[in-house]
Amino acid sequence: MLSNTEENYLKALVHLTIEKGLKDAGTNELAQLLGVKPATATDMLKKLKTKKLVDYKKYGRITITSPGRKHAIEVIRKHRLWETFLFEKLHFSWDEVHEVAEQLEHIQSKKLIDELDRLLGFPSVDPHGEPIPSSKGELKVKPRITLAEAALKTTHIVMGVNDDHAEFLQYVDKVGCKIGAKIKVIQRHAFDDSHELEINGKKALVTAKFAQQIFVA
């Protein structure tokens, strides 16, 4: 049985590699994502290596092993099912679900998750548009285009949003950028990397950092 902390490290590795289409990650970026110091991440990586959950050699890059990936994807499945439950059944808004799901994702009970899945009607995406891994551990990695890379003056559909920060999501919501919204990048300003958008017909000006968190098709 893995601790909550170990599960969080594995989950972070999947976010940094598989979900970005990359094959490995570095100690510093892992530490940063988890909000710990690199030295702390090094210690944990040694432990995860002895448990055969990551492949890793000193000063090298980190890859997740097949058992490590399997476990991480289960945690991600739980996280996204709980987010969906909170949103669909308990009247949570999309900016409120993440924080509570971070706690709920570590509850250990196979039956709980199977039944939750059934109660929700076997959903395939969470409230932010992120795919929910199947009970067999399959995680759909759709090649995602962020608003920062999307073609200019073309209408796109908002497919998903990074869920990590409540404040960000409230802002996203405020400018009318919901899942399914029609969105167009009118122009990019090189001097400050800002993006001029049209969301469902309404103009908005956002930063590059904002644009990188919005996934479109």
Partner DNA sequence: TTAAAAAGTTAGGTTAGTCTAACTTTTATA
Partner DNA sequence: TATAAAAGTTAGACTAACCTAACTTTTTAA
Residues forming beta bridges with residue 7, ordered by sequence position:
none
- Asked if 3 touches a second copy (CB under 8 A), the answer is no
Contact pick of 1, 21, 50, 59 for DNA (by CB under 7 A) = 59
111 touches, from DNA, a second copy, none (C-beta below 5 to 8 Å by class): a second copy
41 touches, from DNA, a second copy, none (C-beta below 5 to 8 Å by class): DNA
Contact pick of 10, 11, 14, 27 for DNA (by CB under 7 A) = 27
- Asked if 217 touches a second copy (CB under 8 A), the answer is no
| Rounded CA separation 83/94 (Å) | 8
- Asked if 37 touches a second copy (CB under 8 A), the answer is no
Tokens of 174: 């405020």
| Rounded CA separation 193/208 (Å) | 6
What is the biggest distance separating any 2 CA atoms in the chain, rounded to whole angstroms? 54
Radius of gyration from C-alpha coordinates of the chain: 18
- Residue 146 DSSP class: E
Nearer to a second copy, 115 or 149 (CB): 115
42 touches, from a second copy, DNA, none (C-beta below 5 to 8 Å by class): DNA
Residues forming beta bridges with residue 185, ordered by sequence position:
152, 197
Beta-strand pair 182-189/194-199 = antiparallel
| Rounded CA separation 71/7 (Å) | 8
- Asked if 135 touches DNA (CB under 7 A), the answer is no
- Asked if 187 touches a second copy (CB under 8 A), the answer is no
- Asked if 90 touches a second copy (CB under 8 A), the answer is yes
- Asked if 29 touches DNA (CB under 7 A), the answer is yes
Contact pick of 3, 93, 154, 170 for DNA (by CB under 7 A) = 3
Backbone torsions φ then ψ of 185, nearest 5 degrees: -90, 110
Tokens of 52: 């055969």
- Asked if 93 touches DNA (CB under 7 A), the answer is no
- Asked if 15 touches DNA (CB under 7 A), the answer is no
How many other CB atoms sit within 10 Å of the CB of residue 107? 10
Q: Which residues make up the interface to DNA (CB under 7 A)?
A: 3-6, 26-29, 35-47, 56, 58-61
Q: Which residues make up the interface to a second copy (CB under 8 A)?
A: 86, 89-92, 96, 99-100, 103-104, 107-109, 111-112, 115-116, 119
